[in-house]
């Protein structure tokens, strides 16, 4: 048996990290694994030497010729590996896989990583998803947003937590606030900057560390100047070992407007970093966070409530310690072995 992960590329991101964890786990079991990339050949994560990295095309930017060559190469690979399981981790990856596999009958499992109400590929996505054996969603709320004929195919499977994460630190934490993610509108890093500007007036010893790249970076840097906090913000760019650098952080912030389940948020919790998250659709954060017990939830887009939560954590050491200890328990609840089994079972195979 071979499992073929389909993804645009393996540059930095939570989805890509999840794929790397699953790919390494399946190789450990002796299963053949290919990561088929259709929009670039970069890989930012450590993979088992037995994992095949296959790039079938660069990013197309809408070029029909590139897309046609992509389809041809995908079909050729699927034909050469009949009987393989296709795990698609993107909408367009599912569309291309469904077309390339016509008549070849490779079972396909789709992993929906975001809010299905977002994006412009609705009808095309639904047709491609109908080809899947199962659609793995991260929350039951997410499943409810699909058309009825697709809801029947959904199964809730959470993200795995990497047990090789740094262990939670003991003792006093650094006076740092951290953000890990793409500098994209979905993640709403501007909200964090606005909240931090309020927070830092009362806690000027804190620094904000931002790990990530994206199209908003220049605009966000300008915003820190306008908010007079540029000297309190450190821009690290994409950092493959960010988790080793943030393990002692005072708090982690997820400021997204919408989200599936943030892998970096789960990792922060598992490392014992006190987490504050927006309670964003499709319920991913609320699935894991019990407000006030293992994290704090704040309304989407509310800079004042976010700043208030940050002030609460910084001023209440007992609360921060409780959230840290309870959050760290998540690392034992969702090990990669269990999630890998659930995906195989959903695809009709036993681990």
Whether residue 178 contacts residue 252, with contact meaning beta carbons closer than 8 Å, is answered with yes
Asked whether the predicted pLDDT for residue 351 surpasses 70, the reply is no
Burial of 257 (C-beta count, 10 Å sphere; 0-12/13-18/19+): middle
Give the separation between CA 317 and CA 312, rounded to whole angstroms: 9
Hey, do 2-160+335-346 and 176-332 end up sharing a CATH topology, with the first three levels equal? yes
Report the candidate in 30, 152, 109 with the shortest Cα–Cα distance to residue 347. Answer: 109
Residue with tokens 């500007």: 197
> How does pLDDT run across 208-251, given as a tens digit for each residue?
999 999 999 999 999 999 999 999 999 999 888 899 999 999 99
- Between β-strands 108-111 and 32-37, what pairing exists: parallel, antiparallel or unpaired? unpaired
Q: What is each CA distance from 75 to 84, 86, 97, 298, 309, in whole angstroms?
A: 12, 12, 8, 46, 51
The CATH number assigned to the domain with range 2-160+335-346 reads 3.40.50.2000
pLDDT of residue 68: 97
> How does pLDDT run across 323-332, given as a tens digit for each residue?
999 999 998 8
pLDDT of residue 159: 87
Whether residue 10 contacts residue 20, with contact meaning beta carbons closer than 8 Å, is answered with yes
Torsion 13-329-299-139 (CA) sign? positive
334-345 average pLDDT score: 93
Architecture of the CATH domain 176-332 = 3-Layer(aba) Sandwich (3.40)
Q: Which sequence spans correspond to the domains of the chain? A: 2-160+335-346, 176-332
The pair phi, psi for residue 142, each rounded to 5°, is -60, -45
Give the separation between CA 173 and CA 46, rounded to whole angstroms: 28
Asked whether the predicted pLDDT for residue 259 surpasses 80, the reply is yes
Give the separation between CA 132 and CA 323, rounded to whole angstroms: 39
> How does pLDDT run across 5-47, given as a tens digit for each residue?
999 999 877 899 999 999 999 999 999 999 999 999 999 889 9
Cα within 13 Å of Cα(291), Cβ side? 9
Whether residue 319 contacts residue 149, with contact meaning beta carbons closer than 8 Å, is answered with no
pLDDT band at 261 (very low <50, low <70, confident <90, very high): confident
Higher pLDDT, 113 or 174: 174
Report the candidate in 213, 180, 135 with the shortest Cα–Cα distance to residue 14. Answer: 180
Length of the chain: 351
Question: DSSP letters along 152-216, please?
Answer: TTEEE-PPPB-TTSPPPP-SPPPSEEEEES--SGGG-HHHHHHHHHHHHHH-TT-EEEEE---TT
Give the separation between CA 35 and CA 335, rounded to whole angstroms: 21
Report the candidate in 295, 178, 183 with the shortest Cα–Cα distance to residue 245. Answer: 178
pLDDT of residue 119: 65
As given in the structure block, the two tokens for residue 177 are: 């606030």
Whether residue 238 contacts residue 213, with contact meaning beta carbons closer than 8 Å, is answered with yes
> How does pLDDT run across 145-203, given as a tens digit for each residue?
888 999 999 999 988 988 889 999 988 999 999 999 999 999 999 999 999 999 999 99
Q: How far is CA 262 from the centre of its chain?
A: 4
Cα within 13 Å of Cα(296), Cβ side? 25
Return the bridge partners of 53, or none: 35
Give the separation between CA 90 and CA 344, rounded to whole angstroms: 18
Asked whether the predicted pLDDT for residue 350 surpasses 70, the reply is no
pLDDT of residue 23: 98
> How does pLDDT run across 266-311, given as a tens digit for each residue?
999 999 999 999 998 877 788 889 999 999 999 999 999 999 999 9
């Amino acid at each position: 048996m071979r499992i073929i992960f389909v993804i645009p590329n393996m540059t930095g991101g939570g989805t890509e990290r999840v794929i790397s964890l699953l790919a390494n786990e399946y190789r450990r079991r002796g299963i053949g694994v290919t990561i088929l990339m259709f929009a670039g050949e970069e890989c930012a994560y450590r993979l088992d030497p037995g994992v095949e990295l296959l790039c079938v095309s660069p990013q197309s930017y809408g070029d029909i010729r590139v897309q046609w060559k992509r389809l041809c190469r995908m079909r050729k690979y699927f034909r050469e590996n009949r009987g393989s399981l296709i795990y698609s981790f993107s909408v367009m990856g599912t569309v291309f896989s469904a077309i390339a596999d016509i008549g070849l009958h490779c079972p396909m499992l789709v992993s929906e990583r975001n809010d299905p109400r977002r994006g412009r590929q609705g009808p095309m996505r639904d047709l491609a998803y109908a080809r899947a054996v199962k659609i793995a969603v991260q929350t039951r709320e997410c499943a409810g947003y699909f058309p009825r004929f697709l809801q029947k195919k959904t199964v809730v499977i959470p993200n795995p937590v990497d047990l090789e994460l740094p262990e939670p630190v003991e003792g006093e934490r650094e006076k740092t606030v951290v953000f890990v993610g793409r500098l994209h509108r979905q993640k709403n890093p501007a909200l964090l900057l606005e909240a931090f500007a309020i927070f830092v007036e009362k806690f000027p010893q804190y620094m904000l560390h931002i790990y990530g790249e994206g199209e908003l970076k220049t605009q966000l840097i300008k915003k820190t100047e306008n908010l007079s906090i540029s000297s309190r913000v450190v821009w690290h760019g994409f950092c493959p070992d960010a988790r080793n650098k943030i393990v002692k952080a005072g708090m982690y912030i997820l400021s997204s407007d919408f989200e599936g389940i943030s892998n970096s948020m789960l990792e922060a919790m598992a490392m014992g970093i006190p987490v504050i998250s927006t309670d964003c659709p499709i319920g991913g954060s609320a699935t894991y966070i019990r407000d006030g017990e293992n994290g704090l939830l704040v309304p989407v887009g509310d800079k004042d409530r976010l700043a208030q939560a940050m002030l609460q954590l910084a001023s209440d050491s007992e609360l921060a310690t409780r959230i840290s200890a309870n959050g760290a328990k998540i690392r034992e609840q969702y090990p990669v072995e269990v999630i890998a089994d659930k995906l195989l079972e959903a695809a009709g195979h036993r681990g």
